Amino acid sequence: MCDTSTRIANDPALPAASRRRFLQALGAGAAAGTAVTAGAAAPAAAAPATSSGRCPARTKIVLLGTGGGPQWNSPDRTGICTAVVHDGRYYLVDLGWGASHRIVQSGIGGSDAARGPLSNLAGVFLTHMHSDHVAEWPALYLMGYTNATGRTLPPVEVFGPGDRAVPPRVFPPERPEPELVGPDAPGAGTAAMTDLLRRAFASDLNDRTRDQGQPDLSTLFSVNDIDLTGTGEIGADGVPPRLTRPIPVWEDGQVRVTATLVDHRPTAPAFAFRFDTPDGSIVVSGDTTVSENLVDLAKDADYLVHECIDPEAVERIVAPLPAEIATPLREHLFASHTTIEQVGRDVAERAGARNLVLTHLSAGTSDATWRRARRGYSGRLVVGADLMEIPVGG
């Protein structure tokens, strides 16, 4: 969806002067042949996308999935997945449930029937190992060749957390320690998870390589754990060390990707990623509470795509649960995520990010409630929706 942002332009919560500036910018963009995006998700019966998607900007953000958490409780929001598109290639941050379907719906894979939707996928970046962020990595990996017809690019570069050396702490601390799942690899990272996946689906993969002539998947995907050498230790509480510089991840022509460690305690390591392109910079937060490392990474970014939780939604989630589950879950959600009141004031404003895009949103919270994130933030706020496309630069 690439429209004229009527929801922002007509938003009564936005000061009149800001609405005028936005409309002036919109008019200038239209005169230059560009577009500004906001609003609800594209209808299911949207017209087929062109080869450059619905929005023809050279660089754009596509919010493939904007739902927070592992609950399947929203017909409008699928699992978290954000695409950065530049010059015909696209890069994915996280792969929540429904991501594969949204890739096809969005048109970012192109409309050429002779080329599969993964033919122009350049990279995958996983922020952390929670299932709601990696659930569709198995689908993308195992079905990769079937959907990469006509691909001429090098292997898809995949980057994510490495193995966790120390298991997470038990909370509350007086609770009996549960038995570790997979005690031989209780903190498997990206490369180890993929190796386990290969073994779990050995029957399928052997059928395809031995009977159907498909190459081994290692020729389509290059899977990498992000190197944290020299960054400091992360203990059982999952709180990351304070970094003095971003972590170099990868450079793909005109796109440079860096990362930082964020605070999604007790989960670790957890990353945010920054994409620097000729048209502008995009930072994707991953899951985190207010993080000084992230504020540094997002310094003067054009777009900060940041997770957000609604405190009232947290109370709705935990209300029906027994106390022994509700108490630690409530503690986790408030300790490891960023609230509506914090995200604009304490993160985007301090970073000097020009645009704040909210994602990882809970079901049942209105856009009017999410727009409270504007308090204390002087930039432009966009409440994310599935399939929303946001042009970057002119």
Q: Which two tokens stand for residue 2?
A: 């690439």
Q: How confident is the model at residue 2 (pLDDT cuts 50, 70, 90)?
A: low
Q: Could you report the per-residue pLDDT of 327-362, keeping only the tens digit for each? A: 888 888 899 999 999 999 999 999 999 999 999 999
Q: How many CB atoms lie within 10 A of CB 322?
A: 8
Using CA atoms, how far apart are residues 140 and 159, in angstroms rounded to an integer? 14
List all residues 6 or more positions away from 15 whose beta carbon is below 8 Å from its beta carbon.
Answer: none
302 near 382, Cβ under 8 Å? no
For residue 74, give the 3-state DSSP assignment: coil
Give the pLDDT of residue 392. Answer: 98
123 near 90, Cβ under 8 Å? no
Mean pLDDT, residues 94-109 taken together? 96
Q: How confident is the model at residue 123 (pLDDT cuts 50, 70, 90)?
A: very high
81 near 99, Cβ under 8 Å? yes
Q: Could you report the per-residue pLDDT of 48-65, keeping only the tens digit for each? A: 323 334 788 999 999 999
H or E stretch at 251: strand 247-252
Mean pLDDT, residues 266-283 taken together? 97
Q: Would you kindly state where each structural domain of the chain is located, as residue ranges? A: 52-173+184-391
H or E stretch at 17: helix 16-31
Q: Could you report the per-residue pLDDT of 124-159, keeping only the tens digit for each? A: 999 999 999 999 999 999 999 999 999 999 999 999
Q: How confident is the model at residue 277 (pLDDT cuts 50, 70, 90)?
A: very high
Using CA atoms, how far apart are residues 206 and 218, in angstroms rounded to an integer? 13
Give the pLDDT of residue 382. Answer: 98
- pTM here is 0.87
Q: Could you report the per-residue pLDDT of 203-253, keeping only the tens digit for each? A: 999 999 999 999 999 999 999 999 999 999 898 999 999 999 999 999 999
Strand partners, 386: none
Mean pLDDT, residues 288-293 taken together? 98
Look at residue 172 and tell me whether its pLDDT is greater than 80: yes
Using CA atoms, how far apart are residues 276 and 255, in angstroms rounded to an integer? 6
**More confidently predicted of 184 and 8:** 184
52-173+184-391 carries CATH number 3.30.450.20? no
Look at residue 43 and tell me whether its pLDDT is greater than 90: no
Q: Which two tokens stand for residue 155?
A: 């292997």
Give the pLDDT of residue 1. Answer: 53
